[in-house]
Amino acid sequence: MDTIGTAIIGCGKVANAHAQAYQSLPESRFVAVYDVDLARATAFASLYGVRAFDNLEEMLHDPHVQAASICTPHPTHPEMVLACAQSGVHAMVEKPMAVDLKGCDLAIEAAAQAGIKLGVISQRRFYEPVQRVKQAIEAGKIGRPVLATVTVMGWRDEAYYRMDAWRGKWATEGGGVMLTQTTHQIDLFQWFMGPVDELFGYWDNLNHPYVEVEDTAVAVVRFKNGGMGTILVSNSQKPGFYGKIHVHGENGASVGVQTDGGSPFVSGVTQFVDPPINDIWTIPGETHQLQAWQEQDEERCQTNDIMTHYHKLQVRDFLYSILEDREPAVNGREGRKHVEMFTAIYRSQRNGRPVKFPLDAQDGSEEFDGRLVRWSKSQLA
């Protein structure tokens, strides 16, 4: 079997999930890691028996490096993709793909011009309960999907934001609950329902005065298929309840998945998570399968670490996209869709009206799609 020389850019918490995938997959030859902090890169590299770099260009020009995972803070993702593209190295980007649409478009264009593969991590798409929902919708088992809800009631405390200096700041994180804690659930919401036509939303920081970014957002959505939906995502419910996406069809049948029990996990920190499960399923003739599926998913959790197993599945798909010269399951255009969703919520509050899709990158103003307008006003209050 052909193998691909793999590397990691950024040795923070989530990098371990990528490293474990690259070390264990037979399609991968894990060879190098990069970090601006050479001591951290060296310590990380020693865990996996690979070479450490503190010069990104040097690592990307190493002929043994053919693909790299980008695990740096969100605002740096596009420039890291650009660096990979300039060296002809395929790039797998951690979520979110970028903090704004301009960054997404830069990364997509750079990858296309260089002829490299560009993948974006959305490993919850690979959860078995998520796959069941997607397959049921595509098979027409609920008819046209006409109503959907995504609800994430989580919690993040002050200690969480103090774990890393970049957390909780517009300049270094780019946003809050919509970018970091509920990326995956918002992505699944639009993946299940299809293209968005219009969105109206609000966001705010309700009970985290020690950070700049939002901890809560709500929105109503009209999809191009005529369906509707609601978004409610929050880090303001102690100790955190669940993350769920439910889809209801025109024939009255409903399907759903609880992706998270409690608050969404923190990669590299959380010790245990509840298994993802299908929590509702009313397709005629299939309702009896719900309990069996839940038992299967709970059993699977006993043998697979949810926080690394599904990263491994997506990384494997990415490597095969290189070997087979095809698009990854979640490519740059798919990754942009989530960024478009949260950008629309920021802009909707700024403009005080619904936002029509598709969205273009902003016109060069410095108010960051409405994020800095709301924050600046709060600082003056």
Strand pairing of 51-53 and 4-9?
A: unpaired
Give the pLDDT mean for 315-338. Answer: 98
Question: Residue with structure tokens 């049948």?
Answer: 253
Neighbouring residues of 378: CB distance < 8 A, sequence distance ≥ 6: 205
Distance between CA 222 and CA 236 in Å, rounded?
A: 26
Asked whether the predicted pLDDT for residue 379 surpasses 60, the reply is no
Query: Count of H helices and E strands in the chain?
Result: 12, 13
Residue 380: what pLDDT? 44
Structure tokens at 215: 């901890």
Residue 272 — pLDDT band, cuts 50, 70, 90? Answer: confident
CATH 3.40.50.720 residue ranges of the chain are: 4-123+311-331
The structure's pTM equals: 0.95
Instruction: Tell me: pLDDT of 364 over 50.
Output: yes
**Is residue 265 very low, low, confident or very high in pLDDT (cuts 50, 70, 90)?**
confident
Cα-based angle 186, 355, 375 (whole degrees, multiple of 5): 75
The answer to whether the CB of 356 falls within 8 A of the CB of 198 is yes
Specify the CATH architecture of the domain 4-123+311-331: 3-Layer(aba) Sandwich (3.40)
pLDDT at 115 over 70: yes
Instruction: Please give the Cα distance from 322 to 333 (Å, whole number).
Output: 17
**Banded pLDDT at 307 (limits 50, 70, 90):** confident
Please report which helix (H) or strand (E) contains residue 257, including its range.
Answer: strand 254-261
pLDDT in tens, 48-92: 999 999 999 999 999 999 999 999 999 999 999 999 999 999 999
**Amino acid letter for position 37:** D
Strands 67-70 and 4-9: parallel
CA separation for the pair 367, 215 (Å, rounded):
19
Q: What is the pLDDT of residues 206-242, one digit of tens each?
A: 999 999 999 999 999 999 999 999 999 999 999 999 9
The answer on pLDDT for 356 being more than 50 is yes
Determine the longest span between alpha carbons in the chain, in angstroms: 62
As a whole-number percent, the residues of the chain with pLDDT over 70 amount to 97
Domain with CATH 3.30.360.10 in the chain: 128-304
Going by C-beta distance under 8 Å and a sequence separation of 6 or more, which residues neighbour residue 82?
Answer: 106, 107, 110
Contact 103, 82 (CB under 8 A): no
Peptide bond into 75 cis (omega under 30): no
Average pLDDT, the chain: 95
Place of tokens 């053919």: 66
Closest residue by Cα to residue 35 from 69, 1, 86, 75: 69
Beta bridge partners of 158: none
Third-level CATH fold of 128-304: Dihydrodipicolinate Reductase; domain 2 (3.30.360)
Q: Which two tokens stand for residue 167?
A: 């957390």
pLDDT of residue 343 exceeding 70 = yes
Structure tokens at 144: 């046209």
